[in-house]
Structure 1
Amino acid sequence: MSDIAVLASTAVAIVGIVVLIVRFRVNPVISLVLGSLCLGLMTPLGLGRTIETITKGFGDIMAEVGLLIVFGVLMGAILQEMGAIERLVNRLLQIFGPRRLPYSMSLAIGTLLQSIYLDVLLVISAPLARSAARRIGPLGTPRMAAAMAIGLECGIVLMVPGVGTLALAALLHVPLGAMLLWGLVLIIPTILISVSIMTFLFRRGFWNSATDEVAAVEETKAEVLTTVPAARTAGTAGTADQEPAWPDIAPASGSEAPKGTEVLKGTEVLKGTEVLKGNDGDDFDDTAGGEASGPGLLACFAPLLVALLMIAVGAVSDAVGRENAVLKFIADPVFAMLIGLIGTLIVGRVVMGGKRVETAISNGFRESGQILALTAVGGSLAAVVAAGGLGDILRGYFTAHTFLPLLLVWLVAAALHIAVGSVTISAITAAGILAPVAPALGIDPVLIALAAGTGSLFAVHVTSNTFWLLQSLLGQTTRGTLKTCTTAVSVASVVGILLLLPLSLLF
């Protein structure tokens, strides 16, 4: 089969996957399986080998990350049920204050809280972010919204145990310890610099509350509706035929969102969680879930931190050449995450009792189903792409030079994300396409994984569920969300690859 035929077959398969997901709203798991099947049939694999390759790719990636995903999601579900996220945000507010909260909260979401399913994490943390935005000042809403978007999306593909990160590591055969360490080195400056850039832009007029915040828009409309009849009755605002001028209003700090968009009002936001005291949201309570007598915040997160530390120790021991059987066993990611899960279970039982822990575990299993399937079929696509011969062709377009291949990896992932609209799917698909090429590039696979991760962040837009959740939960208009989500995460994508290029010189 000619090179042109292989390239054309792969392009048709990828475009077909995108069309199924975006145009016909077919579930991404089904779309990826159908795309893998079509690609196999268009290449010399044939009927028998296509099915065999899809099945093998599915099983191979599940063998590497299946248990890790399950353990991570279950830990996140228990932490969610304990109210640990609310307590963490409140503590960050106490330590760093409102002005620095966008930085600290974005870092916490991007690193520590990635075991929690993204949509759940967003729903839990958004009310806290919105109440804190009132204390930050006129630019509180855009700063908190941008910080949340950056932390959420960067964590998915750059930080263990983010779902996209685990999939990238498995597809590109990157040791999870190395992915954790280098991902941490990259994600921290990426988040801090990106949040700083967005804060600078907002302060220079990039945000207009009159058009970008739902509360301000509704307030302005209400003001016009009440002003016009009064003007016509009193005869002081000109003739009845004159159109009212659209008033200029100041940024709505402390303004209340209209019904349907205000997430926090009163004291109850989530079941059993008191976030606000009083009427203005100025007082935060650190005893989320009403468990004032339970273990401290550090105790809640200690099992997860221990698990990540065990994985990191393994990576460091590999780097310095100090390996032994005991250390290798302890630092194994599956064993480390299992220890973390057991520790979280124990803490959960102390705090909530066995019944609520079992409820959390049931919720965790429901959340992990599609995550596992999506990750696995990404492995199927990668296996078919490799078996179809695309890797041999792409090697001719990549050089052993460090910078150009990483930029091309970033561009491939960015283009896929613009088309598909999902950070996780675009990262997995890009890794599947690039996996066959990785050995010939002369670059450490962790760099390719991180480049694909940063590229998949570019241009989060209206096809993303995160986009619409951020819009509704933080009281933004679509225009405002394009600034705080699409622009902010795209800035993080560019910052990430610009930081990665000089970082690659260390390898």
Structure 2
Amino acid sequence: MVVLHTVIAIVAVIVLIIRFKVDPVISLVISSLYLGLATGVGFSETIKAITTGFGEIMTKVGLLIGFGVLIGSLLHACGVFGLLVNALVRVVGARRLPYAMTSTMALIFPSIYVDVQVVLASPIARTAGPAIGPTGVARMAGAIGVGIFSGYVFVVPGLAAISIAGLLGVPLGTWLLFGIVLGPVTAIVTTLLFGWLLRMRYWKPEVDEVDEENVIEHAVPEPTKVGARPPVPLGVGMLPIIVPLLMIATAAFLGLVGIKSDLLSFIGNANVALFVGLLGAYVLTRRSLGMNRTGEAMSEGFHTTGEILLVTGVGGSLGAVIEATGLGDVLAQLFTADAGAPIVITILLAWFVAAVLHLAIGSVSVAAITAAGILAPILASLDVAPVAIGLAIASGAMFAVHVNSNFFWMFKSLLGLSTRGALKTLTAVTVIGSVVSLPLVLVVALFA
């Protein structure tokens, strides 16, 4: 019954939002209340899970969202992202831009938390969209979405990748050997397939994208004020993004080789790094546009931040209620494997367990960790290399990021998409990416 009620709760969110146009916050709270009460979590424990889930998500990403959105708003005001898009288009061309972005997200940025990645990448996607064509925003959104999660689950030091490897006892060097190929290949192939899908009148901007007046303005401001200063050079304007990424990535890689200290942890903390980026963006904007325009840009950022934080937090509440139902224990009883199971069946089982967990819980990392925890005790009885089991879990955990994920709502808001548009981009590409990567995992299982 837990599985049935979880499915009902998730479907209810989708139906309330898309069919009845109910606000996502209200829809998520209604589904959270239904799930907790219907599965016997209890009145007080359901409320506790809702509030605790909200608080835990805010603890993890609250400042990251706030700092990241403000950085984006300030750099938009300076026209930095417009300059970046023009530079990327000149170097790789508009048609190749989605592939350049998805490869970069999958291969270079896995050390960065996924929420930080989407906050920093979304302005580039939204600014570049018109240069690509009528479906440009969708193409860029899909490329970023699959790039982020392909790196997150397959490429070290992505959190999900490291977690799975650790729980299954797979050496990181072994995992890296396979993951560094699977991640980018999955991202690029998925971006190609999604581009073909968009050619079939799949995307409808009038309903899949939000009106421009409801999102942050990305245009370069006109220097109409007396004494306006020249635009910020691209190299200087990118420092508020590059410096935080280097701070986080450097600390992550040094940690992998055993170099650790309190100072290094402080410098590499994502909150600290993004605050440094925010200070840099603020100084650049003050020098370029003056105090008044800087204040306007900050106000725009604060307005957007509040909306994203509320929806993100309530998305975390639903995930917490689902965890409180004990769904992981149910799956552990439903899905077991024996020593005689064929390699293909075992890989499909690992993929399926992780996919079901992700569909229900709404967190890629939680689904991956839970699936690895379920399968770790029976790993010794399976005639399959542990790295292949781990990669199957990674592939399944990426399946269908949707409405019960706090990332989904961040993605929707930051990319300027409707709920339907987010489902048609982020959910679609993570489904495609998960399915695309599965045959690659089977190849690893047969030869590893």
TM class, shorter-length:
0.5 to 0.7
Q: Please give the alpha-carbon distance, in whole angstroms, between the structure 2 residues aligned to 1:500 and 1:369.
A: 41
Match of 2:88 among 89, 92, 96: 92
**Structure 1 residues 17 and 152 mapped into 2: Cα distance closer, same or farther (>3 Å)?**
same
Quote the residue 2:279 is aligned against. 342
How far 1:271 moved relative to its partner? 5.3
Q: Paired residue for 1:440, among 356, 363, 374?
A: 374
1:126 is matched with 129
What are the superposed Cα offsets for residues 408-430 of structure 1, whole Å, 9 maximum, x if unpaired? 434665xx5xxxxxxxxx88367
Q: Flag the 1:441–1:61 CA change in 2: closer, same or farther, 3 A.
A: farther
Does residue 78 in structure 1 map to residue 74 in structure 2?
Answer: yes
- Structure 2 counterpart of 1:104: 100
- Matches of 2:438 and 2:302 in 1, distance apart? 34
Query: Residue 312 in 1 paired to residue 244 in 2?
Result: no
Query: 2:431 & 2:49 partners in 1: Cα distance?
Result: 35
Return closer, same or farther for 1:292/1:457 CA change in 2, 3 Å cut-off. farther
What is the one-letter code of the residue matched to 1:151?
A
In structure 2, the partner of 1:494 is 435
Matched, 1:406 2:410: no
User: What residue identity is the alignment partner of 1:326?
Assistant: L
1:151 aligns with 2:143: yes
SS in 2 for 1:456: coil
The residue that corresponds to 2:221 in the other structure is: 272
Change in Cα spacing, 1:146 to 1:386, as seen in structure 2 (3 Å) is closer
Indicate conservation of the 8 Å contact 2:102/2:146, yes or no: no
Q: Per the alignment, do residues 405 and 352 of structure 1 end up closer, same or farther by CA in structure 2, a change over 3 Å counting?
A: farther
Distance 1:24 1:99 in 2: 37
Count of residue pairs the alignment pairs up:
377
The aligned amino acid for 2:436 is V
Partner of 2:299: 362
CA distance in 1, matches of 2:25, 2:141: 24
1:447/1:485 CA distance change after superposition, 3 Å: closer
Query: In 2, Cα distance between the equivalents of 1:183 and 1:338?
Result: 31
Alignment correspondent of 1:331: 268
Any conservation in 1 of the 2:245–2:273 contact (CA below 8 Å)? yes
The change in CA–CA distance for 1:504 and 1:297 in structure 2 (over 3 A counts) is farther
Which residue does the alignment assign to 2:118? 114
Letter in 2 for 1:428: G
Which range is displaced more, 144-153 or 16-25?
144-153
Asked if 1:30 is matched to 2:26, the reply is yes
Say which SS state the counterpart of residue 114 (structure 1) adopts.
Answer: helix
Conserved 8 A contact 1:153-1:457: no
Cα distance change, pair 213–494 in 1 and its aligned pair in 2 (3 A)? closer
**Aligned-pair CA distance for 1:322:** 1.7
Question: Could you tell me which amino acid in structure 1 is paired with residue 254 of structure 2?
Answer: S
RMSD (Å) for aligned C-alpha atoms: 4.9
- In the TM superposition, what whole-angstrom CA distance separates every residue of 1:99-157 from its partner, at most 9, and x where no partner exists? 64453366578879732585x66553333333xxxxxxxxxx67x56642432433565
Q: TM-score of the superposition, structure 2-length normalised? A: 0.66
Pair 1:353–1:186, CA change in 2 (3 A): farther
Aligned match of 1:382: 319
User: Unmatched 5+ residue regions in structure 2?
Assistant: 110-115, 153-157, 167-171, 205-211, 213-217, 338-345, 377-385, 404-410
For the residues of structure 2 that align with 1:354 and 1:158, how far apart are their CA atoms? 41
Of stretches 66-75 and 402-411 in structure 1, the one that deviates more from structure 2 is 402-411
Asked if 1:428 is matched to 2:362, the reply is: yes
2:402–2:426 CA contact under 8 A, matched in 1: no
Aligned partner of 1:351 in structure 2 is: 288
Is the partner of 1:455 in helix, strand or coil? coil
2:45 corresponding residue in structure 1: 49
In the aligned structure 2, how far is the partner of 1:13 from the partner of 1:358?
A: 42
Say whether the 8 Å CA contact 1:382–1:435 is kept in structure 2: no
- Write the distance in 1 (CA, Å) between the matches of 2:240 and 2:96: 27
Equivalents in 2 of 1:314, 1:342: separation in Å? 20
Mark the CA change 1:374 to 1:501 in structure 2 (over 3 Å): closer, same or farther: farther
How far apart are the structure 1 equivalents of 2:222 and 2:396? 39
Separation in 2, partners of 1:183, 1:487: 22
Change in 2 beyond 3 A, CA 1:500/1:323 = farther
Q: Distance in 1 between matches of 2:417 and 2:314?
A: 28
DSSP 3-state at the match of 2:238: helix
Summarize the Cα distance change of 1:103–1:390 in structure 2 as closer, same or farther, 3 Å threshold: closer
User: Structure 1 residues 16, 438: CA separation in 2 closer, same or farther (over 3 Å shift)?
Assistant: farther
TM-fit CA distance, 1:435: 6.7
User: 1:12 and 1:336, CA in 2 relative to 1: closer, same or farther beyond 3 A?
Assistant: same
CA drift of 1:362 comes to 1.3
Change (3 A) 1:429 1:315: closer
Q: What corresponds to 2:215 in structure 1?
A: none
Amino acid at match of 1:272: P
Deviation at 1:63, TM superposition (A): 0.9
Cα distance in 1, alignment partners of residues 399 and 190 from structure 2: 13
Higher alpha-carbon deviation: 76-85 or 394-403 = 394-403
CA distance in 2, matches of 1:330, 1:158: 26
In the alignment, is residue 19 of structure 1 matched against residue 7 of structure 2? no
Q: Which residue of 2 aligns with 1:392?
A: 329
